[in-house]
Amino acid sequence: MGAKTKTEAGVRKILFPVLQNGKIGYVNREGRMIVTPQFNGVGDSFRVVEAIAVRSFHEGLAPMHIAEKWGYIDNEGVVAIDPAFDEAGGFQEKLAPVCVSERWGYIDHSGDFQINPQFDEAGPFSEGFAAVKDGQKWGFIDRNGEYLVRAQFDDVAGLQWILMDHPDTGRGLFSEGLAGVKVADKWGYIDKTGVLAIRPQFDEAATFFEGLAAVRLGQKWGVIDKNGDFVVNPQFEDAGGFGNGLAPVKSEGKWGFIDKKGEYVAHPQFDDAYSFFENLAAVQFEGKWGYIDTKGKYVVSPQFDEAGNFETGLAPVRMGSGWGYIDKNGKFVWNPSS
């Protein structure tokens, strides 16, 4: 799950959502307010950890809830695409999934439909394809709306929305040339020709990162390579994706981290743990969240009520009801607010 390299100029363009008095605004990575809080941010419309994944800027635009509809603002806070959608996702590969009257399609940066609303669900594009749901089945389309694989799968691997620096974490997205799919009650992987590259044989399957993917057989999780062969045999209660050469795994109710050979770098000791992003991983210990480095040592001691992943040097954290952002030294760039 390693972060993409960005130029310094590119980093400056990234904005982070914040909440003040129930309204969403955006700050830069130095904590300076760029877009004054003015957009709806109550209820399910805003949680900072999700906001980075769901509502942040992609390709210079961010979906925003305005007057009971969803539109898009640019990084100056100006409405760039008028609010006309019932729901909206982030842009990826110049297209964004939007919902109108319970049907999903894809718009371009002008707000024009490039793929008309016709799907029951739709994921973002990655490596030229997007997962779409028609009825009870999932398939994959290209940027022209043509099917790579018609809707025939019972599910697709991954999360529904994408992290701004990690598009390969989206629902059903291709990652490293493969996408996890469910056929009947088993999981396998298709390649970008639409052919099953790893036959359905697993009880659960995650997305590939750094050439490896976590899969479950029976009640235990292990790790496979792109040939579908186990490189770490099923033995864990749960497992996450690799980042910086390490992956979180759960054993006897606690989380630790293993390397690609299955050797522990940090033995199970945490109540919860996320994958590594930018050489740091969020971990929960005795009810509080902090961050460890790739040697398993605390860089930021557990002190937060909730925490998210680092992206371009900042991570969202919650203290009480307020969300803020810290840098990699644990210093607040934006103090918790709500």
Domain chopping of the chain, boundaries? 1-86
When pLDDT is cut at 50, 70 and 90, the band that residue 22 belongs to is confident
Q: Which of 37-41, 172-176, 234-238 has the highest mean pLDDT?
A: 234-238
Q: What is the mean pLDDT of residues 315-338?
A: 93
E strands, 57-100, in order = 61-66, 69-74, 79-85, 87-88, 96-100
**Residue range 202-261, pLDDT digits in tens:** 999 999 999 999 999 999 999 999 999 999 999 999 999 999 999 999 999 999 999 999
Measured in Å, how far apart are the chain's first and last C-alpha atoms? 29
pLDDT reported for residue 171: 58
In the three-class reduction of DSSP (H, G, I as helix; E, B as strand; rest coil), residue 52 is classed as helix
Compare 113 and 123 and report the one with higher pLDDT: 113
Q: What is the mean pLDDT of residues 178-202?
A: 97
Compare 114 and 90 and report the one with higher pLDDT: 114
When pLDDT is cut at 50, 70 and 90, the band that residue 18 belongs to is confident
This model's pTM is above 0.85: yes
| Per-residue pLDDT at 178 exceeds 50 | yes
| Per-residue pLDDT at 44 exceeds 60 | no
Q: How many CB atoms lie within 10 A of CB 227?
A: 9
Q: Are 64 and 55 in contact, with CB atoms under 8 Å apart?
A: yes
Q: How far is CA 82 from CA 115, 121, 236, 259, 270, in A?
A: 18, 22, 48, 47, 45
In the three-class reduction of DSSP (H, G, I as helix; E, B as strand; rest coil), residue 21 is classed as coil
pLDDT reported for residue 19: 86
Of the CA atoms within 13 Å of residue 287, those in its CB half-sphere come to 2
Strand order, beta sheet including 121-122: 121-122, 129-134, 137-142, 147-153
Structure tokens at 8: 């310094």
| Per-residue pLDDT at 109 exceeds 90 | yes
Give the burial class of 197: count Cβ atoms within 10 A of its Cβ; 0-12 exposed, 13-18 middle, 19 or more buried. Answer: middle
| Per-residue pLDDT at 169 exceeds 60 | no
- 1-86 is classed in which CATH architecture? Beta Barrel (2.40)
When pLDDT is cut at 50, 70 and 90, the band that residue 41 belongs to is low
